[in-house]
Amino acid sequence: METETNNIHRLSGQVALVTGAARGIGKATAEALALAGADVAINYQSSREASESLARDLGSRGVRTVVVQGDVADADQVKTMVGVAEEALGPITILVNNAGITRDGLAMRMSVEDFDEVIATSLRGAFLCSKAVARGMMKARGGAIINVSSVIGRRGNAGQANYAAAKAGLIGFTKSLARELGPRGVRVNAVAPGYVVTDMTAELPENMKEQILKSTPLGRLASPEEIASVIAFLASPAAAYITGAVIPVDGGLGI
């Protein structure tokens, strides 16, 4: 028999939408939420095969899933994406704004397009997706929105002015939305991961990886699952009195 502690983490009956869920933190988050019993809408922009594979895997665990293609930076596509997800699974009660891209380069050499694209996906996308689900959550007087920020948004990083601006913006967005939606029972929080073992970090030069490890008190990169477990906690009843928080999951890098 499950203990009360286990039950409080269960998400049975909840419907989650995870953006950028085809790989990395997004994939691990979809898996963690499904493991806790939530039905999951898996958003992707271009990685259809990986998303469908994930959906089959989660479905084999006894939860309902749907794959929803859409560019989170496009208002019309977001509206369609949320509509498809809710038609298949029911009203969204958990939103994880995870979708993000990088276009690194020194600010003086960075193109306007590279700056705008990063802001559009990470920050505008979170705004559009949150706006699309917030009304339903407010009517239901409950729900959880979790934004995936970054340690870079808290401390900055040379060569990532666009990414830092987007992730810092997510922190301000999280706190503002938490104030707006809190009176209607909707919680809004953020996680700020450090460096995680993903496709993005795999492309970093070895000397940069060594520098990161030296600057991280725990001396290693995080796994996507370690970030996902904190997101799943914030989505759960165990975090019922937490809103407007930014949880660092960075191995101490942001100290």
- pLDDT at position 207 is 82
- pTM score, whole prediction: 0.94
Q: Which two tokens stand for residue 207?
A: 């000397």
Q: Which residues have CB under 8 Å from 120's CB, separation 6+?
A: 73
Q: What angle do CA 188, 236, 72 make, to 5 degrees?
A: 45
Exactly one of 44, 163, 195, 241 is catalytic; which is it?
163
Closest Cα partner for 103 from 116, 87, 89? 116
Q: What 3-state DSSP class applies to 183? A: helix
Distance CA 147, CA 230 (A): 12
Q: Which residues of 177-207 are buried (b: 16+ CB within 10 A; e: fewer)?
A: bbeebeeeebbbbbbbbbbbebebeeeeeee
**Domain annotation for the chain: domains and CATH numbers:** 11-193+231-245 (3.40.50.720)
90/99 Cα distance (integer angstroms) = 22
Annotated catalytic residue 195: no
Rounded to whole angstroms, how far apart are CA atoms 122 and 200?
15
Please tell me the predicted confidence (pLDDT) of residue 174.
Answer: 98
Cα–Cα–Cα angle for 174, 176, 178, rounded to 5 degrees: 65
Q: What pLDDT was estimated at residue 4? A: 45
pLDDT in tens, the chain (255 residues): 344 445 556 999 999 999 999 999 999 999 999 999 999 999 999 889 999 999 999 999 999 999 999 999 999 999 999 999 999 999 999 999 999 999 999 999 999 999 999 999 999 999 999 999 999 999 999 999 999 999 999 999 999 999 999 999 999 999 999 999 999 999 999 999 999 998 777 777 788 888 889 999 999 999 999 999 999 999 999 999 999 999 999 999 999
pLDDT at 1: 38
Q: Which pLDDT value is given to residue 9?
A: 61
For 116-126, b/e burial (b = at least 16 CB within 10 A) is ebbbbbbbbbb
Distance CA 188, CA 229 (A): 17
